[in-house]
Amino acid sequence: MANLHLCSSGFFFLILCFVPVIFSRSLQNQETFIVHVSKSEKPALFSSHHHWHSSILESLSPSPHPTKLLYSYELAANGFSARITAAQAAELRRIPGVISVIPDRVRQLHTTRTPHFLGLADSQGLWAETNYADDVIIGVLDTGIWPERPSFSDEGLSPVPATWKGTCQTGVGFSASACNRKIIGARAYFSGYESAVRRSLQGSSDFKSARDTDGHGTHTASTAAGSFVKNASFFQYARGEARGMASRARIAAYKICWELGCYDSDILAAMDQAIADGVHIISLSVGSSGRPPAYYRDSIAIGAFGAMQHGVVVSCSAGNSGPGPYTAVNIAPWIITVGASTIDREFLADVILGDGRVFSGVSLYSGDSLGDSKLPLVYAGDCGDRYCYSGTLDSSKVAGKIVVCDRGGNARVAKGSAVKTAGGLGMILANTEENGEELLADSHLIPGTMIGEIAGNTLKDYIHSDPSPTATIVFRGTVIGDSPPAPRVAAFSSRGPNYRTAEILKPDVIAPGVNILAGWSGYSSPTSLSIDPRRVEFNIISGTSMSCPHVSGVAALLRKAFPTWSPAAIKSALVTTSYSLDSSGRPITDLSTSKQSNPFVHGAGHIDPNKALNPGLIYDLNPQDYVSFLCSIGYDSRQIAVFVKDSPYAQLCEHKLTSPGNLNYPSFAVVFDSDGDEVVKYTRTVTNVGDEVDAVYEVKVESPQGVEITVLPNKLEFSAKNRTQSYEITFTKINGIKNSASFGSIQWSDGSHIVRSPVAVSFNSGYIASM
């Protein structure tokens, strides 16, 4: 089951969003398994793969409960999912043609200003060149969609693209009229979910249809491809013109996530159908809890490989489990993995102490203010519970006061509710070391604000040193500007090194994911809490779930501009044109430490859509290149056959790479083990896609500390006959290095283009093997 990569006003989804549902696994208890089979071994007597899959199940030994085929997969994967016993699963593994049998996994769910921040403009650049990605189809796999929102108006759109093969699936609360020329398709996938939780969705609080009761799917869909909406806002905040990154692109909504999460069998079925329907982009803000599984056991990686084989770009959230290392998920090299960062907009709510000191905070509170008078100030840790859990605060110590609550544990907005129930009048949410100076604006139910760790510690010192500490909160509304500089990487944003393959840098890029305004469900409150009666058309939330659809929308624009480009070429354009300096001209900051970020945190850097329109050079890849990569990390023929449905086993690794780092990736990750070689060599091939056919590119190297980099040749000369050129890059370790990692870059330039690749070097790495 997967994690929706959202940091809502209440929860960090992915860290502690849902409690996993755990069931007994005795040999005769049924559960869902995903079965991968060899497409070439289907007996000719079966008219279809579905017929073959059904026959395989019928051949199994009987059990107390009948087997049930849930889905057959043909494009994203080759195989099926079924409800069977563990004993039958063991029997399946011995049947000829069956490659692997994997238990179903549950995963969790992990804007008016962002187009301007990204440099997108109506008059020039990527929007103007692509007509806002008109006719490009984005498949959004999420919690569904609320079609009545103005972000999904089809006014001014041309007819549904002739290439579209999908449908508008009707269901509870979702009629055929819910689709239009913007939402051109909608489906719901729940067989795996119902099988796992052992009850029907019929009669539950969730619509058994593509209608979104959560809000997450509506938010991500409108971020990627929402139509132009005037005077959009969340209450009085962020008022302006809202539109998605690709505002004329079409949306196909695939509902895969339900109350208790998102199951792999449903995700894989949706990916399979999205490919068949004709989507160009898959946007997936969902991922695993904990460490990412091996690629051949990761249904998202498997489905994304199938999509890539059909020319579909797959953009995924990196996860919200930062700031620890090795926390990024969706890390297969054929996926665009997206971290989260801030934009140049804040929703300021300052704390003013009785002694006159002012500390900046953020809030989306929309009720009555506290007034001019300062109120008594207390620390929740002195009043029953530092985290302000419901029912834990002593009302005799809290009533009539502003309470400082520590961040963590329970929902951020729920802390204010606990303070209100105990008689408190206001709440200050203080970050701890885990979140540092990361500030997430919440729509609090009482006057409340969030402050950073440094300010929080100062407030607690003030409370414990002043005999009569007082404070107030002043709400300053929406503030746009360069102070603080932007972008900055969110503390929650998951990061590298890559847990499975340290030679592949992840995340790939960062994009806006903090305090993002977009459409919302009419069913759920803006805080997703039952105690909140409010309903809104737009909501402001944070998470890599929000950064992912920004990249999905930009990828749609690039797909429109370059319809023949491969998914790898589109990723290369995004990666090599990204930037690593903030609006002040200094290196991007990591909000978890308030120090300089690095490629393990931000990948290549922050996306720059207009520069991606003209990248100069691209690092391209095809499906066979990725197979060679899988061979290089030690996968055997059966494991690789999960990805490659048609090729004979014996031929899969004929072109094995000497190292996984030799994959023609647009970034570099190098590992020096203590007992390994002190020289690492990689080869790369670039293709000239610039307007100047006879271009000459020269290299500039920024070597990481402790490493010497040489590039041969140091000049690449292109012509009409030679549009591709290769170079070798050598990394030599210099003795005496004490750091565990260091960073640099290489860039190629012809005077008008800068093609930049980050370099991340790990020393004495204990990274996890790919197996």
Write out the catalytic residue numbers: 142, 216, 545
φ, ψ at 544 (rounded to 5°) = -65, -15
Closest CA to 764 of 731, 730, 741, 732: 741
Distance CA 682, CA 663 (A): 8
484: preceding bond cis by omega (within 30 degrees): yes
385: number of Cβ within 10 Å: 19
Q: b/e for 63-75, b at 16 or more Cβ within 10 A? A: beeebebbbbbbb
User: 3-class DSSP state for residue 453?
Assistant: helix
| DSSP codes, 636-702 | -HHHHHTT-SSS-GGGTTTT--SSGGGS--SSEEEEE-TTS-SEEEEEEEEEE-SS-TT-EEEEEEE
What is the secondary structure of 68-129 as a DSSP string? EEEEEESSS-SEEEEEEEHHHHHHHTTSTTEEEEEE--EEE----SHHHHTT--SSSSHHHH
Q: Is 523 left (phi over 0), alpha (psi -120 to 50) or beta?
A: alpha
Of all helices (H) and strands (E), which one includes residue 572?
helix 567-576
- Contact criterion met (CB below 8 Å) for 280 and 138: yes
Angle of helix 544-561 relative to helix 216-225, nearest 10 degrees? 30
DSSP helix/strand/coil, 38: coil
Supply 131's token pair.
Answer: 């007509």
Q: From the CB of residue 131, how many other CB atoms can be counted at a distance below 10 Å?
A: 15
Cβ neighbours for 675, distance < 8 A, ≥ 6 positions apart: none
Helix (H, G, I), strand (E, B) or coil at 538: strand
User: Token pair of 510, please?
Assistant: 């960062």
Beta bridge partners of 743: 760
Whole-angstrom Cα distance, residue 665 to residue 332?
A: 12
- Smallest Cα–Cα separation from 757: which of 515, 578, 513, 592? 578
Q: How far apart are CA 299 and CA 646, in angstroms?
A: 18
| Cα–Cα separations (whole angstroms), residue 511 to 118, 276, 289, 515 | 9, 29, 22, 12
**Cβ proximity of 423 and 23 under 8 Å:** no
> Within the chain, what is the greatest distance between any pair of CA atoms?
87
Cα-flanking dihedrals φ and ψ of residue 464, to 5°? Answer: -85, -10
Which residue, 758, 620, 759, 755, is CA-closest to 699? Answer: 755
Helix (H, G, I), strand (E, B) or coil at 471: strand
Tokens 């690709």 appear where?
246
> What is the token pair recorded at 590?
């990591």
Where helices occur in 364-517 by DSSP H, the ranges are 395-398, 412-421, 453-465
Q: How far apart are CA 381 and CA 674, in angstroms?
A: 46
Q: Which two tokens stand for residue 107?
A: 């995963």
For 741, half-sphere exposure in the C-beta direction (CA atoms, 13 angstrom radius) is 21
CA angle 610, 612, 614 (to 5 degrees): 90
